[in-house]
Each structure stands twice: as C-alpha cells, then as structure tokens.
Amino acid sequence: VNPHEHAYELVPLYTLGALDAAEREAVAAHLHACLTCQEELAVHAAVAAALTADAPAPQHVWRRIEQALDRG
Ligand SMILES: [Zn+2]
C-alpha cells in the first residue's frame, strides 16, 4: 500500500483517536513529511472539534494538530 494513501485514509480516524498505537504512529510519522496529509489533518481536526466541542475553539484545534505533529 502506498504510505501516503494509507495515512491519508487513516487521518479521519487519527483525528478522532480511533487508531491503535501502531497505526497512530505510522500516521504521525507520515504527517511529518507530508503537507497534503497535514492539511487533511487540519480539516478533520476542525470538523471533529465542531462536532464534539460544546464551544468549538480554533486554538484547541491547532494545539491538537501541533501535539499530533510533535508526537511522531
Ligand atoms: Zn500523505
């Protein structure tokens, strides 16, 4: 499987924290190197925040993205 396509497909689940540890690490590692997936992560993080937060806060969204990127 193409690493990018694999990571790209998992980004929504990654955003929701629904991946197992191995998948999460694989996506996080790929995110470091791939702007397309970083942008996809930003989109999904914003959507997830809007769906799950009582009061969507962009700062929280960006913090989560930064944390996700730092983790890899
Ligand atoms: Zn990618």
Count CB atoms within 10 A of the CB of residue 69: 13
CA of 35 to the centre of ligand 1 (A): 7
Q: What is the pLDDT of residue 32?
A: 94
CA of 39 to the centre of ligand 1 (A): 9
CA of 62 to the centre of ligand 1 (A): 19
Residue 58 dihedral angles phi and psi, to the nearest 5°: -50, -35
For the chain, 72 residues long, the average pLDDT of each consecutive 10-residue run is 92 91 95 95 85 67 80 68
Record the pTM: 0.66
3-state DSSP percent of the chain in helix, strand and coil, to 5: 80, 0, 20
What are the residues whose beta carbon lies below 5 Å from ligand 1 (ion)? 4, 34, 36-37
How many residues would you count in the chain?
72
Q: What is the pLDDT of residue 68?
A: 83
